[in-house]
């Protein structure tokens, strides 16, 4: 596994990280699912251990994933492996661990500190390497106050660096002005995302952590027009016959041949696209099984897509349909 820098922190991390939303299991906001259906905790732990064996060192979660469950599972898996891992988590949401219900948010200084302490306890660690604000559309004035609290947490030794999970370039720039900001997490893959936000990361020497690196499963090729998802899955309302998901499947078909050249799977080609797009990118595909981890890590053996592949993908998708 090759290495990339986690922005201006200079911390070396694996070029591929693991996104730990799915291993949090089911969770809800009222009647709306915000998790990824049932999960096997022991398989999740085996998958994390396999990732460590294969050279993965970067693990991204959030306090709300599974309403605390993802952090607890990750903490169990990394017990005895703390020196091998760079741990990123997020804060903002309020939730009840017992009922698995998310109920609101808290960006007050007291709320941020309480959330940090709770995450430290669930992860069973003394510090968090990267602590990320999880309200992507927060107003700029309020976000500046949040950034100030994060600087205090750095000085207190509870976190090493911080970032913001946001798709907006002006918000990325605001956080980037903070001394210990080192990353922006954004939605970015071969079919969607903001290249303007990526440009801010490159300009300000911030890591661009890529959530939805595989389009929440679409870029793996496992969905078709007749696919249905469980009622407790955050994607349960997806319609593959018409609408956005159907359009994504159609666009994927246009570029399937290019992404799979040289023996890559679709997922491996999509990861190669992200690595080729910028040296700042760190994709964090989700997982539930050892097999998924092994397939995604194997993308590193192929590396970046070549320049001509990137150009052909751009032509096939069309300039009007590329990332904004």
Q: Tokens 């090729």 map to which residue?
A: 221
Average pLDDT, rounded, for the chain: 96
Position 39 scores a pLDDT of 96
Domain span at residue 53 reads 3-321
The string of DSSP letters for 193-245 reads E-HHHHHHHHHHT-EEEEETTTGGGGGGT---TT----TTBTTTT--SSSSHH
Q: Are 187 and 193 in contact (CB under 8 A)?
A: yes
Report the domain count for the chain.
Answer: 1
Q: Tokens 């981890």 map to which residue?
A: 293
Taking the alpha carbons at both ends of the chain, their separation in whole angstroms is 30
Q: What is the pLDDT of residues 84-120, one digit of tens each?
A: 999 999 999 999 999 999 999 999 999 999 999 999 9
The neighbouring-strand residues paired with 189 are 192
Residue % of the chain over a pLDDT of 70: 98
Q: Which residue has the higher pLDDT, 152 or 322?
A: 152
The neighbouring-strand residues paired with 188 are 193
Q: Is pLDDT at 73 greater than 60 in this prediction?
A: yes
Q: Is pLDDT at 250 greater than 50 in this prediction?
A: yes
What CATH code is carried by the domain that includes residue 307?
Answer: 3.20.20.100
Output DSSP code: residue 288.
S
Position 320 scores a pLDDT of 42
Position 324 scores a pLDDT of 45
Q: Model pTM?
A: 0.96
Q: Tokens 């661009």 map to which residue?
A: 208
Q: Tokens 């251990």 map to which residue?
A: 49
Position 252 scores a pLDDT of 98
Q: Tokens 């460590």 map to which residue?
A: 52
Q: Are 260 and 266 in contact (CB under 8 A)?
A: yes
Q: What is the pLDDT of residues 300-309, one digit of tens each?
A: 999 999 999 9
Mean of pLDDT values over 272-298? 98
147 is written with which tokens? Answer: 């950034």
Sign of the C-alpha dihedral computed for residues 150, 168, 30 and 285 taken in this order: negative
Position 323 scores a pLDDT of 54
Position 313 scores a pLDDT of 98
Position 319 scores a pLDDT of 54
CB atoms within 10 A of CB 164: 28
| Total length of the chain | 324
3-state secondary structure at position 213 = coil
Confidence class of residue 322 from pLDDT cuts 50, 70 and 90? Answer: very low
Q: Are 34 and 237 in contact (CB under 8 A)?
A: no
Output DSSP code: residue 305.
P
239 is written with which tokens? Answer: 């319609």
Position 281 scores a pLDDT of 98
Position 321 scores a pLDDT of 46
Q: What is the pLDDT of residues 197-246, one digit of tens each?
A: 999 999 999 999 999 999 999 999 999 999 999 999 999 999 999 999 99
Position 213 scores a pLDDT of 98
117 is written with which tokens? Answer: 């302490």
Position 174 scores a pLDDT of 98
Q: Are 89 and 21 in contact (CB under 8 A)?
A: no
């Amino acid at each position: 596994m090759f290495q990339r820098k986690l922005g201006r922190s200079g911390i070396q991390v694996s070029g591929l990280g693991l996104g730990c939303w799915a291993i949090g299991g089911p969770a809800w906001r009222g009647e709306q699912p915000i998790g990824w259906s049932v999960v096997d905790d022991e398989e999740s732990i085996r998958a994390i251990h396999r990732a460590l064996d294969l050279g993965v060192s970067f693990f991204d979660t959030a306090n709300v994933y599974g309403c605390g469950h993802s952090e607890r599972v990750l903490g169990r898996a990394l017990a005895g492996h703390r020196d091998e891992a760079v741990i990123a988590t997020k804060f903002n949401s309020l939730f009840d661990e017992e009922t698995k219900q998310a109920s609101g948010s808290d960006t007050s200084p007291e709320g941020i500190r309480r959330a940090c302490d709770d995450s430290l306890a669930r992860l069973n660690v003394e510090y968090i390497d990267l602590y990320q604000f999880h309200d992507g559309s927060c107003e700029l004035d309020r976000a500046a106050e949040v950034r100030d609290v994060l600087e205090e947490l750095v000085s207190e030794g509870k976190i090493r660096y911080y970032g913001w999970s946001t798709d907006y370039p002006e918000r990325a720039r605001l956080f980037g002005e903070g001394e210990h900001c080192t990353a922006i997490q954004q939605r970015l893959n071969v079919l969607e995302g903001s290249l303007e936000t990526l440009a801010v990361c490159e300009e300000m020497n911030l890591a661009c952590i890529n959530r939805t690196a595989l389009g929440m499963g679409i870029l793996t090729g496992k969905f078709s027009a007749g696919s249905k998802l469980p009622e407790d899955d955050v994607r349960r309302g997806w319609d593959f016959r018409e609408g956005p998901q159907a359009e994504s499947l159609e666009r994927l078909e246009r570029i399937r041949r290019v992404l799979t050249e040289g023996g890559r799977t679709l997922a491996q080609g999509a990861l190669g696209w992200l690595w080729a797009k910028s040296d700042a990118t760190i994709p964090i595909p989700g997982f539930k099984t050892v097999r998924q981890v092994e397939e995604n890590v194997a993308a590193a053996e192929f590396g970046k897509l070549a320049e001509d592949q990137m150009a052909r993908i751009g032509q096939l998708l069309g300039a009007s349909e590329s990332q904004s």
